[in-house]
Amino acid sequence: MRLRALLENDALGLRLLGGDEELDRSVRGVMTTDLRDPSRYLTGGELVLTGLAWRRDAEDSEPFVRILAGAGVAGLAAGEAELGDIPDDLVEACLRHRLPLFAVHETVAFATITEYVVRQVSGERAGDLAAVVDRHRRLMTSGPAGGGPEVVLDLLGSDLDLHAWVLSPTGRQIAGAGAPLSAAAGAELAGLHLAAVRSGRRAPHRAALGGTTYSLFPIRNNGRGGAAPAVRDVRESVLSDWLLAVEADASDWPAARLDLLQGVTQLIAVERDRRDAARTVRRRLAQEVLELVQAGAAPAEIAARLRVATPVLLPGLGTAPHWQVVVARVEWDEEGASRVQGGPVAQALLEEILVDPAVTGPDSADRIAVAHTGDEAIALVPLPAAPDRAEGTAGDAAEGAAEGDGPALHADALLAAVRAPLSAGLADDGRLTLGVSASVHSAEGLRGALEEARHARRVAAARPGRVCAAGHHELASHVLLLPFVPDDVRRAFTARLLDPLREYDRRHRAELIPTLEAFLDCDGSWTRCAARLHLHVNTLRYRVGRIEQLTGRDLARLEDKLDFFLALRMS
């Protein structure tokens, strides 16, 4: 389509402020942004929609317009809802760079323009397909009361007999029409989608599950809605993009129907913008508290900031909550680390994990406060005090929450439902590790909680697997020490003790290593160990004797038992 078509559509109500000689430019897409530098998300030919939140003063207009012109966008449409009339400095900058500029009246939603451009760029639709998009536009652009993604999914079902669900990258159902998918089915579909994206296959992706065929469409996220450009590293978005799962085989669909579904994903991305915008304040609060804690600010100053955060994160709460800290880190191999910022990816993942009501309770979406610094994401999680401990001391309350009487988070529960799909998204070149602190009741405890969560994450990082977590309760045992043992010391220590046994097992299939593990796990009890291994006690005594002979150690001595135990844990 041409830019001129925007002015010819009275329903859009756009006013041209400059660039009338450039109205024959082709529009190949649409993007909504309030980033000061959106160049990484632009491929050229877009109509850029902006609410002007990036503009702080007149000097900001020139660099913003220069970036858009350099990226080859078709035109710029600026909303009047934030500042009223479009600033003269923006008009002048667009004239200098020959960038057509439109004013969007405050009564016109960006989603209306997005839908129009998507329809025009996608080509002619069959009458029933166009009706679906048009009806959805009227409902969705009316605001949250319009029903959000559920409306378009209902229309896909009623008009096209398509059952569809919007899923998060972990498989959590965000919206759906009709019967919901089971948690297991959602997680498996998400895992199949992530694996297909990482393999580079072109969407939509076909997936068979329980005798049913699904087509999986990515809902691209670039932080401000719209389609994410193909130039982004897939690792930067694969773990944060939503997906549309349609119960149908799209491999034989006509182009018009495929175009419609692609347009629907863009409209759902607009709705996601609305939801993500609600996290902006909570992210800022978490960032402010984190900066105070890391800077060693006085507890009174941190407490004052927490008093501001509490009503936002837990509206209506009468008493001060407990706080827990969760630290997450996404690490890629050498190539990925040089191209992808781990902090934002970890932030998006941590928000998704903590938003699950099964993990953090009802209304958890309204309590997410995650900041990121460097390659690390840090969540400040408020936990309402358990009713029977609300009047007790801070120490009593924290102890109760840590023991499970309160609503404290537990490391294993955080990852139980998401490990499989996230492992598929991380493929063979990424890792996600999490650490969870104990709960604290005061500002004085937050610094210790942050350090505790970071130590727990290092413990998780020492474990095998793509997705690992550790909690504060594991820091009181030997596992706190093992992550900090240098690799060369680990190898030398385990080789000295275990290599003779491994070599003997390889040659004789004697199973000395499994026997040693079982013997230590049974605390040296001959009868319990023999029963576990289904051996006669004399056979067990023979094997243990062979272990002692090969290693020169005595398994009756506590020191030698401890050495074997640590060697097995570090191997």
What are the structural domain ranges in the chain? 4-111, 150-273, 279-483, 487-570
For residue 239, pLDDT beyond 50 = yes
Helix (H) or strand (E) segment spanning residue 398: helix 394-403
* 150-273 to CATH, choices 2.60.40, 3.30.70, 3.30.450, 3.30.920: 3.30.450
Do the Cβ atoms of 159 and 127 come closer than 8 Å?
A: no
| Residue 57: DSSP 8-state | S
- Taking the C-alpha atoms of residue 351 and residue 244, their distance in angstroms, rounded to an integer, is 20
254 Cβ contact list (under 8 Å, min separation 6): none
287: amino acid identity, one letter = Q
pLDDT at 364: 53
What is this structure's pTM? 0.57
pLDDT at 478: 62
- Taking the C-alpha atoms of residue 58 and residue 139, their distance in angstroms, rounded to an integer, is 37
pLDDT in tens, 267-317: 888 777 777 776 777 788 888 888 888 887 888 888 888 777 777 666 655
- Taking the C-alpha atoms of residue 154 and residue 137, their distance in angstroms, rounded to an integer, is 13
The superfamily in CATH containing domain 4-111 is HprK N-terminal domain-like (3.40.1390.20)
Q: What is the CATH number of domain 279-483?
A: 3.30.70
pLDDT at 221: 62
Six-digit token string for 124: 């002619």
Residue pointed to by tokens 């992210």: 283
List beta partners, residue 373: 376
Helix (H) or strand (E) segment spanning residue 185: helix 183-199
Reported as a pLDDT band with limits 50, 70 and 90, residue 343 is: confident
pLDDT in tens, 14-46: 999 999 888 988 888 889 988 999 888 888 889
Q: Which has the closest alpha carbon to 244: 195, 199, 184, 203?
A: 203
Q: Write down the mean pLDDT value for the chain.
A: 80
pLDDT in tens, 445-478: 888 888 888 888 988 888 888 888 888 877 766 6
Six-digit token string for 193: 């989608």
**Residue 146 or 460, more confident:** 460
Do the Cβ atoms of 149 and 175 come closer than 8 Å?
A: yes
Six-digit token string for 316: 């209506």
Q: What is the CATH number of domain 487-570?
A: 1.10.10.2840
- Taking the C-alpha atoms of residue 411 and residue 475, their distance in angstroms, rounded to an integer, is 13
Six-digit token string for 283: 């992210």
